[in-house]
Amino acid sequence: MLTKRKTALILSLLLVLTSFVGCSQESEEVSFPEKDIEGYIMWGAGGATDNVSRAYTPHVEKHIDASIVLQNKTGATGAVATQFVYNKPADGYTLLFGAENPQLYKVLDLSEIDYDNYDPVIVLGMSVALIVVPEDSPYETLEDLIDDAASRPGEVEMGSTGPGGLPFVAAGLIKAVNDVEFNLVPFDGEGPAMTAMIGGHVDVTVASVSAARELIRSGDVRPLAAISNDTIPGLEEITPITDIYEGYEAYLPWGPYYGVFAKKGTPEEIMNILEEAFLKGYEEEEYQDFLIDFGAVPLGYQGEEAREFINRSQKIAAWLMYDAGATEKSPEEFGIERIE
């Protein structure tokens, strides 16, 4: 039978042990990050994803005790970066700064790894795609371009960013509605594609407002249409494509978006820290002003809201590609439902 002294001693030891366990758990909860965070941008320097990402991370660093070191890792419409980050541990120290492209990897047979293998830290914003030509282009209107492409199938050259990239999907959309085809010339991002177009190496390209806005302002490129139902605030002079041709309404709204993603399996405690810091960075007034001036619609989606947004965008783009004959694999094979 235990004496009162022994009982008191045992209770004291249990209290000490409990306090140690509590301290250990508290330490684990706040131990992230203990080193710099690496971010890999799936597109090249000068493109929309690059600009949106590099303008963003200084604001996030104010709210997380680490530097965020960004690197461009291009190739295969972003699949190189997506695979690279996936091969890293799910510890929150390696993040993917990406766009909408991985949602088409499976239907285009580019990669088995897509956003199903990631959790969104935040979806920052989305943009509108523009059909643009050089300032000295003979195409004065979208009708000029479509008519010429129809008369010379596969000869009009469009700067592309590879299968699943924005111009690739837009070309599929144009084929589905206008029944014309372009010769897609691949580049490592929107920036290089527009530089090549301005230099006379291709006839046309499709770029996000975010990537093309400054070149429109400088007069280096001319927009023929916005792939949108509505006019763009601040660029009301650009005609929505639905005002020019019928048939596009069924596929809109659709467009590029930008976000930050962590490998699925990242511990919940670390995801919470990342989400809190990245949301605070997103909410910084200076970054909000940047997004709007850059031509992006601020979103700030996280958690289930972000996942629903990504899934809806995937459904639209995947079925668009399939309907246009750009992929032999049906989205149904991968459980991607058609939006009715």
Domain ranges across the chain: 37-126+256-334, 129-251
More confident residue, 128 or 90: 90
Query: What integer pLDDT is reported at residue 323 of this predicted model?
Result: 81
Q: How far apart are CA 40 and CA 51, in angstroms?
A: 13
pLDDT tops 50 at residue 135: yes
Report whether the peptide linkage leading into residue 153 is cis, meaning its omega lies within 30 degrees of zero: no
Q: In the prediction, which pLDDT does 3 show? A: 54
CATH 2.40.50.140 corresponds to the domain 129-251: no
Give pLDDT, residue 51.
92
Task: Specify the pLDDT at position 322.
Answer: 87
Residue in the structure block whose two tokens are 């710099």: 36
pLDDT at position 5, please? 54
The token pair that represents 173 in the structure block = 């959309």
Question: How confident is residue 22, by pLDDT bands cut at 50, 70 and 90?
Answer: very low
Q: Tell me what pLDDT residue 71 has.
A: 98
Separation in Å, CA 232 to CA 67, 171, 220, 239, 292:
35, 21, 19, 9, 11
Q: Which two tokens stand for residue 130?
A: 């523009």
Q: 48-72 burial, b for 16+ CB within 10 Å, e for fewer?
A: bbbbbbeebbebbbeebeeebebeb
pLDDT at residue 9, rounded to an integer: 47
Q: Does residue 216 carry a pLDDT above 80?
A: yes
The sheet with strand 94-98 has its strands ordered as 68-72, 37-41, 94-98, 257-263, 118-126, 297-301
**Can you tell me which residue has the tokens 């990245």?**
278
C-alpha span between 338 and 340 (Å, rounded) = 6
Q: Is the pLDDT of residue 27 over 70?
A: no
Fold observed for domain 37-126+256-334: D-Maltodextrin-Binding Protein; domain 2 (3.40.190)
- Return the pLDDT at 30: 54
Lowest-pLDDT range of 183-192, 244-253, 261-270, 319-328: 319-328
Specify the higher pLDDT residue, 261 or 48.
261
Show Cβ contacts of residue 113 under 8 Å, excluding neighbours closer than 6 positions: 79, 82, 83, 86, 102, 105
Q: What is the pLDDT of residue 2?
A: 46
Taking the alpha carbons of 46, 52, 55, 61 in that order, is the dihedral positive or negative? negative
Q: What is the pLDDT of residue 214?
A: 87
- Say yes or no to pLDDT of 25 above 60: no
> With bands split at pLDDT 50, 70 and 90, how would you rate the model's confidence at 29?
low
- Each residue of 36-70: pLDDT tens digit? 999 999 999 988 899 999 999 999 999 998 999 99
Mean pLDDT in residue range 210-216: 87
Q: Which of 5-19, 42-56, 219-233, 258-272 has the highest mean pLDDT?
A: 258-272
This prediction's pTM: 0.77
User: How far is residue 327's CA from residue 304's CA, in Å, rounded to a whole number?
Assistant: 29
pLDDT band at 211, cuts 50/70/90? confident
Residue 1 has pLDDT above 50, yes or no: no
**How large is the C-alpha radius of gyration of the chain?**
24
Least confident of 67-76, 114-123, 297-306, 323-332: 323-332
Q: What percent of the chain has pLDDT over 90?
A: 69
- Tokens standing for residue 216: 């429109």
User: Among 60-69, 98-107, 318-327, which stretch is predicted with the lowest mean pLDDT?
Assistant: 318-327
Domain 37-126+256-334 shares a fold with domain 129-251? yes
pLDDT of residue 239: 96
Q: Given CA atoms 271, 304, 76, 51 in this order, what sign does their dihedral have?
A: negative
pLDDT for residue 149 is more than 90: yes
